[in-house]
Amino acid sequence: MTPRLVAITDSGRELSAHLGPYRALARALGPSLVVMVRLPGRDAREVLAWTRALVDEGLQVSVAERGDVARAAGVARLHLGEASVSTPDARAWMGDGAWVTRACHEPSSPDVDADAVLLSPIFGSPGKGPPLGTRAITAAARRATVVALGGVGPTNTRACFEAGAAGVAAIRACLEDPDGMLRALAEAPGA
């Protein structure tokens, strides 16, 4: 099942800054929330510590790019970058029941082997290049399950679902306005 919300960790903030908002989101969304541990540049020990702490909170966790960490933490969810190993190879290593997602920046060529693609940037997002817009969601959703990422927040979540996204992903909005994200998800199609 594709979650309605993927909350991605902010590597510029401490773990403690994530816990309150993620607890609030999890209370309301239950299994419709997955927290992705994405900590570029951090060593495996630190990524593992964050992953274990979030799992200990009872959260469903995905790990970005670190299958070794996911397996060590007992997590069956892995997110791959565009240049990472193939999805079938990742699934073989993680196990048949693993939920494997892949980054996608080109709506005409999503990874159809992945359980979902995180298509980005949909809206303006600092340092992420020109936004693709919601038409890109519609185009990619013809071939793959899409989770919309990039500038997603309470004011545009509905547009992502209306365009065909199965879910949305966010960093700042989940930490800074979890109540707004919950309202937006409740009002979006498929709620």
**pLDDT per position in the chain (191 positions), as tens?**
899 999 999 999 999 999 999 999 999 999 999 999 999 999 999 999 999 999 999 999 999 999 999 999 999 999 999 999 999 999 999 998 999 999 999 999 999 999 999 999 999 887 878 999 999 999 999 999 999 999 999 999 999 999 999 999 999 999 999 999 999 999 999 86
Say which residues have a Cβ less than 8 Å from residue 182's Cβ, sequence separation at least 6: 24, 25, 28, 29
pLDDT at 125: 83
Rounded to an integer, what distance in angstroms lies between the CA atom of residue 191 and that of residue 185? Answer: 7
For the chain, how many structural domains are there in total? Answer: 1
The encoded tokens of residue 15 equal 């773990």
Rounded to an integer, what distance in angstroms lies between the CA atom of residue 148 and that of residue 173? Answer: 13
Show the domain range for 32. 5-187
Q: Within a 10 A sphere around the Cβ of 20, how many other Cβ atoms?
A: 11
pLDDT at 54: 98
pLDDT at 1: 80
pLDDT at 176: 97
Supply the CATH number for residue 113's domain. 3.20.20.70
Please indicate, yes or no, whether the overall pTM of this predicted structure exceeds 0.95: yes
Rounded to an integer, what distance in angstroms lies between the CA atom of residue 147 and that of residue 99? Answer: 13
- Residue identified by tokens 């403690």 is 16
Q: Within a 10 A sphere around the Cβ of 85, how many other Cβ atoms?
A: 15
What one-letter code names the amino acid at 161?
Answer: F
